[in-house]
């Protein structure tokens, strides 16, 4: 595991952390039992296999 050789200043730490941004999930249309739902792209296989059911 990489270990920093020197202490990072508070200013640099906060500047680095401020760059991180959350992104909304990529929703795709999926038809289940004749109804269309918007579900996250990474969960489409689980919905198709019946492991997850959409809530109304």
pLDDT means per 10 residues in the chain (56 residues)? 92 90 92 92 93 82
Domain that holds residue 36: 8-47
| Look-up of token digits 């792209």 | 41
In a domain, 29, yes or no: yes
pLDDT of residue 20: 87
Q: Is residue 25 part of a domain?
A: yes
- pLDDT at 43 (0 to 100): 93
Rounded CA-CA distance 56/34 in Å is 14
Q: Is 55 within a domain?
A: no
What is the Cα–Cα distance from 7 to 26, expressed in whole angstroms?
38
Q: How many domains does the chain have?
A: 1
pTM of the model as a whole: 0.58
Please check whether residue 43 lies inside any domain of the structure: yes
Q: Given 3-state DSSP classes, what are the helix, strand and coil percentages for the chain, each rounded to the nearest 5?
A: 30, 20, 50
| 36, containing H or E segment | strand 35-40
Confidence (pLDDT) at 56 = 59
Residue 53 lies in a domain: no
């Amino acid at each position: 595991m990489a270990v920093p050789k020197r202490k990072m200043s508070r200013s640099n730490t906060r500047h680095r952390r401020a760059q991180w941004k959350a992104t909304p999930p990529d929703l795709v249309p999926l038809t289940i039992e004749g109804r269309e739902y918007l579900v996250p792209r990474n969960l489409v296989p689980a919905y198709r296999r019946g492991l997850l059911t959409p809530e109304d």
